[in-house]
Chain A
Amino acid sequence: MNNGRSGRSAARLLGTVVLAAGLVVSTVACAGGGGEDTGDGGGATGDPTAGGELTVLLDAAFAGGWATGLDPATSNTTGANLAQNSAIFGGLFTLEPDGDGGKIVENQAESFSWSDDAKTLTVTLRDGITFSDGTPLNAEAVLWNWIRAFDSGSTGAPRLQLDLSKPAPELSPEFMDSLWAALPADVDKALVEQHLGAIRIVDDLSVSISLANVDGSLVNGFPTSSLNLIASPSAYAELGEGAFSLAPVGAGPFIVESDKMSERLELTKNPDYFKPDLPYLDALTFQSVAGDQVAYQTLLAGQGDVIEGLSSVPLITEAEGNPDVEVHLGAPTSPYVIQLNTRKPPFDDIRAREAIYYATDFKAINTGLFKGEGELSQSFTASGGLFFNPEVDGYRTYDPEKAKQIVEELGGLTVNLGTTDIVTARSVTTALQTQWQEAGIDVTINAEPLGDVITRFIAGDWESLLQTAGAWDPSVGIGVSVRFGSTSPFSGAPLPEGAGSAQDALTQGLTTELDDLLRAAVATTDDDERRAAYDEIAKYISDEAYAPFGMAFSPAQVMRAGVHGPGLDIPIPALSVNQGVLYDRVWVESGNE
């Protein structure tokens, strides 16, 4: 899902160099800007008006990169390209603003229901929706898309354990021909047949998907999943693989006019959009730009109207003081976390982990580096996320004397602190190094590109790593299981007793207590039960001192005055990294088109 992050560090590095120079520039440009505080999520004034065009600037290293195309089944960057997908496909479900948080709402889907055993989800579509090529968005189209999502070989394929025990039903030869033609030539046909047994057409407007286990986060995960994006099978047949990947046909609010991969995507209003009087905008363009500084200057130059996901704190501060632009911070969902590798020294000793907890003062880092804009968390999510637990009972807070005492007791503590080579992360690790050294901990920092960090994770060749954890739903994306499940390659939590490796644990079916808690948290569709499970997980991680959590910080939406819409001036929690903007309801005030 976060494959768009690949290579992000390299471009970030370039962005950082540019930023360093550009800060001076932008400060000069906006000197004297008195600045109203528009970061309150106040929303629009007046009624939405139709018309106008909008250019949205996206970071080339993340949301603005779609090198593997926009076909949801074959794109490796579906999770990063939320903006483009929202505009072209709309989605079966959307994450809508709900007070300070968000809620999942049916969009092209009319309703959903669970079977009694909560293992089968049935999604019913709204009647009468058509793709922009005029063909119907019906159950058959959903089945065609879902099978492709699972079997096209994309790294963004859904991570679901389907119930593969049911035989595939009889489907029309036309449908099967269309499906096989849209799958890779070397596809595992037997597996496709099994998937056809798990995903079934119930009636013309209903499709069911059967899971091997209960997954209470399935629907919450839709907005970042390729399962949410339904494309026209007829258009695929007509255009062919390559052209369809460049200009897919959906039933969303906009139609692809032109697509220069990872550079510029021009869209026009879909006149047959299923929601009356929407979208408001006549045209929408996504322009890829080289990082925050370039995006900000492009906005100031009038060549862009919105920057999605500005993450540079100095630029956000600068923009907040500029009366010509509006800044809206999203509801944070993913806090920083210092993962400690409990599988090897020194952190196989809980006292060493406790020393790190006591020596860490994220409050000071938040004030110093984030100008207090971050939100401190003691667990794997933040106020924008589901099941947020602001204070975990017994959480070890900053106490340098206690840290010193433990370090002395241990006879000294030497730690290697790794991080992804991103400027903000490096600043945080430097601050941590200073704090830890004050407690007598000897610290070496190791900043590496994301690919190398992943390699270290997989090899288990790390002691402590500064990362981020969490998502709107803690089990979706880089959620709590990824960071703390014993068999996850990105976890430093202990292996189950009797297991020599994660693979060994999987083979033998061994689990830890934390694994069982994590499973319990998704083994129900009842939100109260899930909340209770996540509270228990937060407490368990805290008690075992597996990883101190820090501030959660959401990238900002920055736009010129007069642009409104959900996900822009009305905050929506970040699904994984950026907020998902609902472009069908984005509008521009009259006179600002």
Chain B
Amino acid sequence: MTTEAATTSIRTEERASLLGRVSGSVLVRLIVRRVLIAIPLLLAISILVFAMLEAIPGDPARNQAGMDATEEEVEAVRKQMGLDRPPVERYLTWLVGFVTGDLGRSSVSGQSVVSLLSERTWVTVELVVLAFVVSLALAIPVALMAARKPGGFFDRVVMVISMTLLAVPNYVMALLLVLVFAVILRVLPAIGYVPIEDGLAANLRSVTLPVLALAVPLACFYARFLRGDLVEQINSADYVETARAKGVGPWKVLWRHAFRNSSFGLLTLVGLNIGGLVGGTVIIEQIFSMPGLGVLMLQGVMSRDTAVVQICVFIFAAVAVLANLVVDVMYAVLDPRIRYGNR
């Protein structure tokens, strides 16, 4: 090793060590601050959800008891659902239960909420994670290829297709996918969910259409956004000009330079989309008869099963908060200016 090379190596190690210490402490502070903000936020969400359930017109006990139930039966149902107690007392009971790990029982089925969640959470998690992975896996290469020659044939075709698919709501997308792959081609199931314990291949087959129904519109959105940002970077950013002047090839400019910068915008979008995607599972799970949290929440809303709705919304909100926290952390990891700014 030459002296120059050894010096460079030492400097690099020092810099890495320093960066590690600084970024580590900054990241920890960032995470702690975000978590502290999340607690009152989630509390406010739980109050809001409770208030909204209270504000829905109509009598949930009568709704649950049915049209031909007597007043005595309606009152019995009201008692069974806990609706005979004041709202504040009910909310506080739920909150104390939540904090102590007792989520109570469904007022409709009588099943423990914990057991209901344990059966269903994985289904929704799998759906959401796969939808994100697939949407990014589709969007990134397509956007890079489209941005390589803006206005070219591929770019135009991709933009037209993505605009068309963006205009299709995910429940219509779901029905179209079922029509093509289940009804006409008969290669994938129209409904149902196979747990991963029953075989990975069968599990993936069962989630393919719901995942695509969620991922395709998202992929179109990401692809359009990323392609636009990449083109802007390529056309106007100084660092791109510099890279080109150094003789860096167009693909490398795109991938190593422009994409890295554009990924910040994409990250923001992904963070913002988490809530929408999790919300989208409510309809998609229903259409594909998947036993996930979305269906559980919908059933809970319809029957005003407060214990179930509260925890489902809480989980959805917590996921959104967590996703935004991860995005913030990713920002800090990717962009030194944010790390030092926070410091």
Contact = CB atoms under 8 A, between A and B. Distances in A.
A477 B68 CA distance: 8
B175 A60 contact: no
Contacts of A17: 171
B69 to A, nearest CB: 4
Contact of B191 (A21, A25, A289): A289
Contacts of A22: 172, 175
Interface in B156-187: 169, 171-172, 175-176, 178-179, 182-184, 186
Nearest to A21: B172
B76 interface: yes
B67 A69 contact: no
Contacts of B298: 10-11, 14
Contact of B303 (A1, A7, A294, A452): A7
B73 A294 contact: no
Contacts of A245: 110
Contacts, number: 155
B59 A451 contact: yes
Nearest to B65: A155
Contact of A3 (B65, B111, B176, B183): B65
Contact of B287 (A69, A76, A290, A458): A290
Given A67-B109, A76-B66, A263-B291, A455 B58 contact: yes
B132 to A, nearest CB: 24
A57 to B, nearest CB: 9
B109 A261 contact: yes
A157 B299 contact: no
Contacts of B171: 17-18, 21
Nearest to B106: A67
B183 A297 contact: yes
Interface residues of A, number: 61
A287 B66 contact: no
Contacts of A444: none
A5 interface: yes
Interface in A1-35: 1-7, 10-11, 14, 17-18, 21-22, 25-26, 28-29
B47 interface: no
A213 interface: no
B62 A458 contact: yes
B286 interface: yes
B184 A29 contact: yes
A369 to B, nearest CB: 23
Interface in A274-298: 287-290, 293-294, 297-298
Interface in B55-76: 57-60, 62-70, 73, 76
A60 B58 contact: no
B286 A290 contact: yes
Contacts of A14: 283, 286, 298
B289 interface: yes
B66 A6 contact: yes
A25 B303 contact: no
A297 B58 contact: no
Contact of B68 (A69, A451, A482): A482
A23 to B, nearest CB: 10
Interface stretch (A118-126, A133-141, A299-307, A405-413): A299-307
Interface string A445-469: 0001111101100100000000000
B293 interface: no
Given A18-B171, A303-B191, A263 B289 contact: yes
Contacts of B265: none
Contact of B66 (A5, A290, A293): A5
A478 interface: yes
Given A21-B171, A260-B291, A451-B60, A301 B189 contact: yes
A273 interface: no
A293 B58 contact: no
B96 interface: no
A430 B340 CA distance: 64
Interface string A210-238: 00000000000000000000000000000
A435 B328 CA distance: 60
A448 B73 CA distance: 23
B334 interface: no
A454 B77 CA distance: 16
A153 B61 CA distance: 14
B59 A29 contact: no
B267 to A, nearest CB: 32
A301 B58 contact: no
B108 A67 contact: yes
A144 interface: no
A371 interface: no
Contacts of B110: 68-69, 242, 245
Interface in B275-290: 283, 286-287, 289
A472 interface: no
Contacts of B60: 451
B190 interface: yes
B15 to A, nearest CB: 56
Contacts of A159: 68, 70
A478 to B, nearest CB: 7
Contacts of A450: 63, 67
A36 B178 CA distance: 25
Contact of A157 (B58, B73, B111): B73
Given A6-B303, A294-B175, A303-B191, 15 more contacts: A3-B64, A6-B65, A14-B286, A25-B175, A25-B179, A67-B109, A153-B73, A153-B80, A155-B66, A263-B289, A293-B175, A294-B191, A297-B190, A298-B191, A482-B67
25 contacts: A2-B67, A3-B66, A4-B66, A5-B67, A7-B63, A10-B298, A14-B286, A14-B298, A18-B287, A21-B172, A22-B175, A69-B110, A153-B76, A159-B70, A242-B111, A260-B291, A261-B111, A290-B289, A297-B190, A301-B183, A301-B186, A449-B57, A477-B68, A482-B68, A490-B67
Interface of B: 57-60, 62-70, 73, 76-77, 80, 106, 108-111, 169, 171-172, 175-176, 178-179, 182-184, 186, 189-192, 283, 286-287, 289, 291, 298-299, 301-303
Q: Give 7 closest A-B pairs by Cβ, nearest first.
A: A3-B66, A7-B302, A451-B58, A451-B63, A301-B190, A301-B182, A21-B172
